[in-house]
Structures are given as structure tokens and as C-alpha cells.
A = this chain, B = another copy of it.
């Protein structure tokens, strides 16, 4: 793994990238997992690379649900195992959930390797090797363990495929999903969608357990019943829009100090004093319809 100084401004993001790349090298993460990590990075950047309040709320509700569940299962894929194996094991232990390795690009070798990683991180038992085709999906994607996800009442999934998430909710399971894209099918289909980086969500959830574990079941249900996932999804989308506007203003120097503006003046091109806007002439080049530059 490349050494990254802890004070690097993008330390967390770069570390995660190193972990996923290392996961590919050891065979627990697929190449598709690298692309998924990139998609996640983009949405995390847009969400501000921090746990927003609505995600914190969803994480609290998720903890309540896991504590209430009779047969909770935490589903683990290659990316999750590369990013936060110890946290997944601790969350399972503190909530009484089973761990099940559940891969989109399933190979028996990867299942075994991920089970080993979880056991190295303290897990006693990990399901996944005895998966059968129990979900109404094609081929390998249909495979889950009868004693695990198939019989679960609450399933925690991270970075899950939309079809599989929907198959679980169709089976009347309550699904908690960690997904940085608030508009993904998984995010829309799950009952509790945590729009947060798994590496921030898990420690936060683990911290919260002590606040909820001694509460009455009735009170936990009250919290869960009061929850509206749409509010969380809308808040995440609104946060992204606000962050886009803020970054846009920063780029335009609207709210920023003189540094940003000075920088801009350094960008003088060689042959013209400045590439500027002139709607009339720009119009000439808009041959393919479109007049949006002219407003």
C-alpha cells in the first residue's frame, strides 16, 4: 500500500482508494468494484465528504432496526470487505446480526477470501459458502444462504445492486442500504437509505449502539415508525445541489477571497488578451440548434 501522509487534504479518500486497490490485488475486490469505488468517490465529493445530518439520522434509525430485528443479517461484498472489515464485524457482534458474504460478481474463491478477511478481523462465523439460488434473479446473483439473508427480517446492504435490493424488499424484508447516490435504484428501493461513505457510516453506527441498546422495544419502534426515507433522500439531493452552487460560486470568485481571483488572471492565453463572451459571435458557432448561451 502506498504511504499517504495523514495530513494530506484528501487523506480519507486516497486511503479508501488504496484499500480498494489492495483488495483487487488480494482478490477480494473485483475490477468492477474499482469502477464502483470511483462512482462513490464522485458522489461523496458532491455530498461534501462528510456525514450529513440526514445520513446521521438514517444511521440512527438503522441501528434501531438492527436492534429490533429477530434475524438481522449484514451482507458483505468485496468493496465493503476491503474498506471496513473490522467495523462490519463489530457492528454484527453488537447488534446480534449474522454476517453473510454476498457478491454481485460471485466466485467461490472470492467468497472464501472475504470470509477469511472477516474472520481475521474477529468474526466467529460468516455465511456465504453454502448459498443457494433463492432470489428471483438470474444465475449467480440469485444466490443467498437459507439460514442467512433468505430468512432474515432485516438486511443491511452496502453498495448493493438495484435488482438485488428490490428482490429483498419484494420478499418483505426491511432493507437498510448504504449508497452515496441518493437517486440510485438501491437508494430508492431500500427502507432506510444511508447516503454516506461506508467508512464514516459504520463507526458512527457503532458509536450509537450504546445509546439505543437499553431502550424499550416500543420506543425503538416509535423511532422507526416515525422515519420517512423520502425526507432523507430529498435532503441528500438538496445537499448536493447546495454544494454544487457553493463550489460554483467559489469558482466564479463570488464569495471567495482574492487568491482565487488572482489565480484566474494568471490564465491569460497567449494569443488573445482573454477568452471572453460575445453572444452575437457565439451565436454563429451554435450551428446545432440551441440558444442557451445567448440568454
Q: Which residues of A pack against B, CB within 8 Å? A: 17, 20-21, 24, 31-32, 34-43, 45, 53-54, 56-57, 60-61, 64, 153, 169-170, 172-174, 181, 183, 188-189, 191-192, 211, 221-231, 233-235, 237, 240-241, 244-245, 247-248, 251-252, 266-272, 275-278, 280-282, 284-290, 292-293
Contacts and interface: CB of A to CB of B under 8 A. Distances in A.
5 closest cross-chain pairs (CB), A and B: A38-B38, A228-B277, A42-B42, A226-B281, A53-B290
B191 A267 contact: yes
A226 B277 contact: yes
Given A172-B270, A270-B174, A248 B38 contact: no
Contact of A292 (B235, B272, B285): B235
A68 to B, nearest CB: 8
Contacts of A172: 268-270
A280 B223 CA distance: 10
Contacts of A32: 17, 21
Contacts of A226: 276-278, 280-282, 285
> So how many copies of this chain end up in the complex?
2
Nearest to A235: B292
17 contacts: A39-B41, A40-B42, A57-B285, A169-B266, A169-B267, A172-B269, A191-B269, A222-B281, A225-B278, A225-B281, A226-B277, A227-B277, A227-B282, A231-B277, A233-B248, A233-B251, A234-B248
A189 B54 CA distance: 34
Given A53-B292, A54-B292, A222-B281, A228 B276 contact: yes
A60 B191 contact: no
A224 B275 contact: yes
A242 to B, nearest CB: 10
B251 A244 contact: no
B42 A271 contact: no
Contacts of A247: 183, 237
Nearest to A68: B271
Given A230-B252, A282-B57, A289-B53, A270 B37 contact: no
B270 A56 contact: no
A235 to B, nearest CB: 6
Given A226-B278, A293-B231, A34 B42 contact: no
Contact of A183 (B228, B251, B275): B251
A223 B284 contact: yes
A168 B289 CA distance: 33
A227 B57 CA distance: 46
A285 B277 CA distance: 51
